[in-house]
Structure 1
């Protein structure tokens, strides 16, 4: 049984991580580390978590033998610090996306994991989800021929006051939801992009976007003359779609990304349309169970620090492209992060949650 400390008791921890742990069968929560002690105590009582600690107690906790791993759900600017401290203490780390805020931070996180032997996993929950596995298998099996174009949208209306609207935390739609589109494109093509273009928009009358862009439209070139485009936004109607056009058909996925939705997709070919629908599973339970299995078996996770760093490299290039208007080349990189069937985990969704 892997014992987790949850670092940061905000919305994603309350809504998704904490409710999922009990379903896994191989994981439990030992501690909640939060700057809001009253709320953390309520969450601990609700989820039967033995310890509630403040951030000043973090180093003592990771130095103890009371936990095996930490789940970091802090603002992006704090990912590297809290991950590196845990890894150096020999604790395994699951960190929310994006991995960090700079490539230097990501490299330091990876180095800390390598030096200690503890595992670092970027929280790509869809890598363990049945619909995503079926989608990639459909592409890989040649059912739509060779994929030549990928298009995606992921947007919603962000609420004022959220730390994701703050430039100091490297907030923004690209980092928060655009990373899903980017990660999907990389895995659909089984390759790393070689150049990027981007344009951003920031409505001057909207107070939410005084520090960050509201929306970005991105174009990526992949090896083999393949192209991808995506649109991500904190100021649009809810949208979460994927469209993959191949030489002999296409796949349309809607919904595609949110853990609140069950994935469905259509395979459209000259002979007709095939519908695929998948059960609504608990994405976070699958992700936690997979990471705990990796720890218990001593097998490094697929979505490791390098996988997170592969997206970081492109995210930063997209920002530069949007800022300068230039096409930003990327040095060729091998693709090394295949999602494989042994990573699949399916657990029913839970309704036992406390939102403060």
Structure 2
């Protein structure tokens, strides 16, 4: 059993990771690191977590505890600091995306994990979800010919006061949900984007968007000629899907990104339409089960630090393109690994959770 400390007891830990880890067969949360001890006590009592640690005691805890790994669910600008400290203490790291807020921090995280001989995994839960991997398998097997165009919308209405609306933590729809679109496109084309263009919208009459944009529209160009378009928004109705058009057919995953709903695939070719409804799984349980399998086997995870860095480079280029109104070049090394069926984990979902 791989023992985890949850670092940051906010909404995603409460809603998704803590209940998901409880559904896995090889992972156990044994500590919660947070700045809110009263909230942490209620969570610890509910999930049977034995230790609560304040942020000021993080380093001592890492030095003296028997946890194997940390799950970092802090605001984006804190990822690097807490990940590097965990690596230096010899703990494996599962860090939420985006991996960091800038390239030097991401590179420092990767270097710290490498030097310590621990695994750094970026939390791409969809890499362990059956519908997402089925899309990639269809494309690899030539089901739609050569992929040419990717189109996606990921949107919802963000609540006032959410830390994702804070500029100081590099919040905004691009970083929080646009990263899913970027990641999907990179694996669909099985190559790295080389250019980004973008524009944004920030309504003047909505107090939620005083610090960040409400919506971003982006276009990525890939070496093979593939084009990826997406819109990410914190100010629109709930939509999450993507479509891939190839030389001989097209496919659509709708829903495509959120963890609360099961994915559904529609494949169209030669006038025929085939639909597949995938089972609802616990995305976070699947993700932690996979990472724990990697730790147990001493096998590096597919969604490593370099995977997070590749998306980060695209996000930074998109942000710069929107700011300058000029195309921005992207330089990333090709990825040797992509999500594969052996990474899927069919972990049953649960309704047992405590959200404070």
Q: How does 1:114-263 map to 2 (within 5 A)?
A: 114-263=114-263
3-state SS of paired residue (1:151): strand
Report the Cα offset of residue 332 of structure 1.
5.7
Distance 1:282 1:160 in 2: 27
User: Is this contact kept in 2: 1:61–1:67, CA < 8 A?
Assistant: no
TM-score (norm 2): 0.99
Residues 154-182 of structure 1 show CA distances to partners (whole Å, capped at 9, x for unaligned) of: 01000010110000000000000000000
Q: Which residue does 1:285 correspond to in 2?
A: 285
3-state SS of paired residue (2:142): coil
Distance 2:55 2:337 in 1: 33
Q: Which residue does 1:341 correspond to in 2?
A: 341
3-state SS of paired residue (2:220): strand
Distance 1:108 1:191 in 2: 24
Report the Cα offset of residue 191 of structure 1.
0.4
Q: Which residue does 1:101 correspond to in 2?
A: 101
Q: Which residue does 2:309 correspond to in 1?
A: 309
Residues 263-284 of structure 1 show CA distances to partners (whole Å, capped at 9, x for unaligned) of: 0011112231101110000000
Distance 1:332 1:353 in 2: 39
Distance 2:288 2:69 in 1: 11
Across the two proteins, how many residue pairs are aligned to each other?
356
Distance 1:253 1:300 in 2: 28
Report the Cα offset of residue 135 of structure 1.
1.1
Report the Cα offset of residue 30 of structure 1.
0.8
User: Is this contact kept in 2: 1:255–1:264, CA < 8 A?
Assistant: yes
3-state SS of paired residue (2:217): strand
- More off after superposition, 10-19 vs 62-71: 62-71
Distance 2:286 2:253 in 1: 21
Report the Cα offset of residue 326 of structure 1.
0.3
- Structure 1 stretches of 4+ moved >6 Å: none
Report the Cα offset of residue 66 of structure 1.
2.1
Distance 2:294 2:254 in 1: 31
Residues 46-96 of structure 1 show CA distances to partners (whole Å, capped at 9, x for unaligned) of: 000001111111111111242110000000010000000000110000000
Report the Cα offset of residue 337 of structure 1.
3.0
Distance 1:173 1:282 in 2: 24
Residues 82-127 of structure 1 show CA distances to partners (whole Å, capped at 9, x for unaligned) of: 0000001100000000000000000000000010001100000000
User: Is this contact kept in 1: 2:200–2:213, CA < 8 A?
Assistant: yes
3-state SS of paired residue (2:74): coil
User: Is this contact kept in 2: 1:307–1:337, CA < 8 A?
Assistant: no
Report the Cα offset of residue 333 of structure 1.
2.9
Q: Which residue does 2:80 correspond to in 1?
A: 80
Q: Give unmatched runs, 5+ long, in structure 2.
A: none
Q: Which residue does 1:42 correspond to in 2?
A: 42
User: Is this contact kept in 1: 2:313–2:332, CA < 8 A?
Assistant: no
User: Is this contact kept in 2: 1:122–1:305, CA < 8 A?
Assistant: yes
TM-score (norm 1): 0.99
